[in-house]
Amino acid sequence: MQRVQPDIWETEVESPFPGLTVHAYLLTRDAGNVLFYNTGHQHEIDRMEELGGVAYQYLSHRDELGETLVTIHQRFGAKLGGHRAELDDFARYRTPDILFERREMHLGNVEVIPTPGHSPGSTCFLVHSPHGKRYLFTGDTLYRGEEGDWRAGFIPGHNDERDRQTLAESLRLLSGLEPDVVFGSAFLGDMGFQETTPEDWKRHVDGALARLLG
């Protein structure tokens, strides 16, 4: 793992299949660390123990499900968070302890923001860090492209046309946020996160929205 912000650690990259690369991110907190997304790397789970373990694991959507959900729970007692709309998918591995249904604050500084479209239960997380920055975890609702642009997670064959308008509404919601650093799950290119300004972020999201609807 490498530290990419004062309280954020990024796991080693994984490639579940050719063309797809992903990271998970550990938010270190005095009140219990939060793992966003998931990793299949056992050595990274070992490293998490050195960093204080995992008190909570929040998944952005069902594509992040895997056997290590059980490993992380058994090792650290981590409480799992996921959206109610994908409860049946989660149940194949582990039933969530915390269900997302609406926009609300969790754990004191983690804002849960449902953003359906890529999948029915896709959810983003806006963290208000005590270090003064706002971290936005977008899952696959928006992912970073090779040139540093951000793209909507609409995949022909995975999504149908009804999802296009649903995802567009989610992007309009995200456009109004003002993150300082944005962390996707899947990404293209050499990195999965990017520092930004409110103006640049709105430009990125509006560009993704235009491409989605174009």
- At 103-142, the pLDDT tens digits run 999 999 999 999 999 999 999 999 999 999 999 999 999 9
To which residue do tokens 């999965």 refer? 192
Concatenated DSSP letters of 159-187: B-HHHHHHHHHHHHHHHT---SEEEESEE
Q: Which domain holds residue 36?
A: 2-213
Instruction: State the CATH number of the domain containing residue 74.
Output: 3.60.15.10
* Residue 11 CA, distance from chain mean position: 13
Contact 106, 87 (CB under 8 A): no
Q: Is this prediction's pTM over 0.85?
A: yes
168-195 mean pLDDT: 92
Question: Could you give the CA distance from residue 201 to residue 150 in angstroms, rounded to a whole number?
Answer: 9
Amino acid identity, position 129: S
Contact 60, 140 (CB under 8 A): yes
- At 3-47, the pLDDT tens digits run 999 999 999 998 876 767 899 999 999 999 999 999 999 999 999
The tally of domains found in the chain comes to: 1
